[in-house]
Amino acid sequence: MVKVIAHRGDSVHAPENTIMAFEKAIELGADGIELDVHMCKDGYLVVHHDETVNSPDGKMLIRDMKLEELKQLDMGYGQKIPTLTEVFRLIGNMDFFINIEIKTNMITYDDIEQRLADEIRRFDMVERTLVSSFNHYSLRNLKCIEPAIAIGLLYQCGLVEPWWMALRLKARSLNPFYTNITPSLVRNCQYYGIELYPWTVDNPIIMNDMINAKVTGIITNDPAKLLDILRSVQPL
């Protein structure tokens, strides 16, 4: 069965990357969530998509703000920017998958890979976590720090035989933009034991295409829609 991965939580029905969105994804029965991680000024790992936030002083970089300052911001419906610690505590001992994207493709953070590895180990999340990034150097650094943590290579443009890159970096998965899913990619990933998690798939026709292509999981903003399709449609 294809895994349902809620992109930034159930972001159709709750503010993205918030505890509310993650709770709704769990309640729906999603297999996991995808979220984005930055590091703020005082070293906490915080969950937010962009490198910046809209503060009372204007747009500011997360790396230039302390956690206390970030917690004063409203993400919608009274939701605050969560820390990764808060998300791990929400998941607890549940059999639940978490795909953490390290947001180091635009801005780098000193020691973020070490801090992330420490946090994953502290909450015994190694077996339930996949860390992805568009910055493959960051993933390589993480793999050197903790080889047991699974990594996934994010990419958007067409790459020539990307499975070789996955094998070279010892990545568990390729996480491409969904238009890159081709029979050749699926065939080679299956042959080499590489998982496939296309993003971000919200159109039901494309959801069916991905299901029939036999990808490992689908990253979607609308997990309820994908769950309905999986429950009602027999893949070809």
- Which residues carry out catalysis? 7, 49
Q: How far is CA 88 from the centre of its chain?
A: 14
**Pair of tokens at residue 23:** 């709770």
| Residues paired with 102 in a beta bridge | 37
User: What are the backbone dihedrals phi and psi of residue 62, each rounded to the nearest 5 degrees, phi first?
Assistant: -60, -40
Give the N- to C-terminal CA distance of the chain in Å, as an integer: 13
For the chain, what is the radius of gyration of the CA atoms? Answer: 17
Give, to the nearest 10 degrees, the angle between helix 84-91 and helix 19-28: 20
Helix (H) or strand (E) holding 118: helix 112-122
Side-chain half-sphere CA neighbours of 171 within 13 A:
30
Q: Which residues of 27-62 are buried (b: 16+ CB within 10 A; e: fewer)?
A: ebebbbbbbbbbbbeeebbbbbeebbbeeeeeebeb
Q: Which two tokens stand for residue 53?
A: 């936030």
DSSP one-letter code for 46: E
d(CA 81, CA 6) in angstroms, rounded, equals 18
